[in-house]
Structures are given as structure tokens and as C-alpha cells.
Structure 1
Amino acid sequence: MDDRLHEILAQVSMIHKSLLEDEKIDDVDYVLEYIENFDDDVKDHYLKLLLQYYFQKNSISNFKELLLLGYKFDLRMDDIKQAFLNIKSNDENVIEFLEDNVVFFKDTNYEEPLNDIYEYYKNSDDDIKVALEESLELLRRNRYICAFAYKNKTEEYARFFINEDLLESLKRDLPYLLK
């Protein structure tokens, strides 16, 4: 299996590079046709990677199309950060679309992504800030982000993410998260 995994990863990398170079990666129908003749395991790995790529690029229509085909990926804070940095309008975005997943996900890497999100928000114009608000509220409703922010409250970016109501609930019901 190890040899096959290396082969799969190499093919996935070649597919992705080719689609990026040809600037066809945003055309899901083209992508599905392009990978049709590859082995099923290669297609499966690539479409999972592509779903993550579409999430990070905040390509909501492409993301939804792959979700409808049954693909999933493990959401990480870095994925959310990338998607957040790609919100450019008040249109629906992937963070809002995956609302429950964003509110309840758990990760171990918060510092750099939260700082980058904070900096992006702080340095955005007022129109973009309005577009970012709902996604920020979802992040502030995540108990793990709130706990991290509380434990790092000396940092300006961390204070930005503290949700006082959620914090009181955590102090009462889940105090071990705050230690």
C-alpha cells in the first residue's frame, strides 16, 4: 500500500498542478471530465483535496457541487483562515455555509490563524468588514476558540475573539477548557 500511496500522491499532485496551470480548476465539470480516466482511488483522493481547495478559496458553488457528490474533508483552523481571507463580498461564503461545523470544530492550531484573521479584519475597508461580521460571529461562538482567546487575553487578537456570554458558560459548565 505504501508504494501505491506514493503513486496516488504523485498523480494527485500532477492533476492539481495541471489544472492550476491551465486555469481550469474552477470549472468543476471540466475537472470531473479531466480525471474520469484515472483510477478510482486517485480520483477519490483528488476530489477530497479539491473540496478543501474550494473551501480555502471560498468558492461556494464549486464547494457545494463536490459536497453533493459526497466528498468531505477534515476542517482545520488553517482552512478557515484561508477561506476567511478570501471573503471579498457580502455573498454567501463557505464559513457561513458550514456554520455548525465551524462553531463546533476543534483544532490545536489557533494562534497564527486567529492573528491573521484579526489582522485581515482590522486592515479591511468598512464594506469588507460588514461582509466578514457573520463569519466572525461564528468563530466567536466556537468554545475552543473562546477558551484559547481567554487563555491568551493579553494578546490584542485574542481579546477580539472572546465571546463574554460563551466565556461565562464555559466558566460554569466546562472550566477545564479554560486551564
Structure 2
Amino acid sequence: AQCAIIHEKNINENIIFDLEKVEENLSEYDSDVKEHYLTLLMQYYFQNNKIEQLKELLLQGFKFDMRFIDVVEAFCHLKDDEENVIEFLEDNVVMLKDSVMEEDLKMMYDYYQNNLEYKNFIDEPLELIKRNRYVCVQAFKSKEEFAKLFLNEDLLKSLQRDMPFLLK
């Protein structure tokens, strides 16, 4: 609850993306609260594709447990051809073991289709996401047309050969 209050305050004061000011405000809190908040903030930076702030927290030794919804959020915040968090944490995205829901794929598909002006710099992160076996499995199992965007045929062949139990 304390972290939620801190987060709301940082948003309201419009300093949420100024890590130096955020850390300055945290100086009045116990170290465990500060540490917990900065871990949650790292996840927030990932979801909002704020790579510089994410890198700063990584350099300080912070980590967060990435979920697929974090990848979805980050994808839906791609708006320019600058370095992005999905490509920066490529291995984590590709190897992520998490449930992939059809609605997650739909959300990314809709973002992709509704932002074709971003297509040139969305395509590469999309290709990384398609290399995740659980994305491939969900796309294969889906009866929805939009899911075909996420189907990686080479990965599917590999899964059919080496891990057919995932496809059942």
C-alpha cells in the first residue's frame, strides 16, 4: 500500500520518469520500502518502454519478474525507432515462460494494425516476441485470424518435433 501511495505521488508530481527525483523522494523511507518500490518501478519503466530509466535500475542491481503482460504493455508503447526494452531484454522476452492469453495477442495485433505508421520499428520487436514458444503455441491453438500474425512457422515445426505436448 505504501508503494502505491509513493507511485501515485510521483505520477501526480510529474517526476515518475525522473529517477533522480524519485530516489530523492524515497530517501525518507525505510530501505525495504525503497527497494520494493524501485523493483516495481523497474517493471513500470519496462511496460512504458522507458529504456534509460530501466538501464539505470539494472545498473543498481534491480530485477523484476517479467510476465507476458509486461511484454504486451511494452509493445503497445513502441512509438519511435529508438532502442526499446523488448530488444534490450531480448533473451528474457524470447525465453519467458508464462501464460500467453489470446486477448494479449489481440491487444498487440490491434496496436500493430492501428499504428501502421510505426510498422518499421514495431516489426523487429514483433519478430522477437514471435520467437517465444508460448506465443507460438497460443497462435497455433487460436482459431482467430489475428493470431496468424504471431505464428512462427520454423518454431512451430521445432515444437511439433521436440515438444508436441505443448501443442495439445
TM range, smaller chain: over 0.9
Contact persistence 2:100–2:138 (CA under 8 A): no
Cα deviation, residue 110, structure 1: 2.1
Is residue 155 from structure 1 mapped to residue 136 from structure 2 by the alignment?
no
Cα distance in structure 1, aligned partners of 2:12 and 2:138: 39
Q: Percent identity?
A: 52
* 1:106 Cα offset (Å): 1.5
* 2:73 is equivalent to residue 91 of structure 1: no
How many residues of Structure 1 are paired with residues of Structure 2 in the alignment? Answer: 168
1:35 equivalent in structure 2:
26
* Structure 1: segments with no counterpart, 5+ residues: 1-9
TM-score between the two structures when normalised by the length of structure 2: 0.97
How far did 1:142 drift?
Answer: 0.6
What letter corresponds to residue 30 of structure 1 in structure 2? K
Give the Cα separation in 2 of the matches to 1:94 and 1:121.
Answer: 17
1:133 equivalenced with 2:123 (yes/no): yes
**The one of 52, 63, 70 aligned to 1:61:** 52
Query: Under a length normalisation based on structure 1, what TM-score does the superposition of the two structures give?
Result: 0.91
Note the aligned Cα RMSD (angstroms): 0.9
Q: Structure 2: how far apart are the matches of 1:109 and 1:134?
A: 19
Report the Cα distance in structure 2 between the residues aligned to 1:18 and 1:141, rounded to whole angstroms: 38
Match of 2:157 in 1: 168
Task: Specify the alignment match of 2:71 in structure 1.
Answer: 80
Give the secondary structure class of the aligned counterpart of 2:73.
Answer: helix
Cα-to-partner distance string for 1:29-82 (whole Å, 9 max, x where unaligned): 111111012101100110011001100110010011011111111111111111
Alignment-derived partner of residue 3 in structure 1:
none
Distance (whole Å) between structure 1 residues aligned to residue 102 and residue 27 of structure 2: 40
Aligned residue type for 2:136 = C
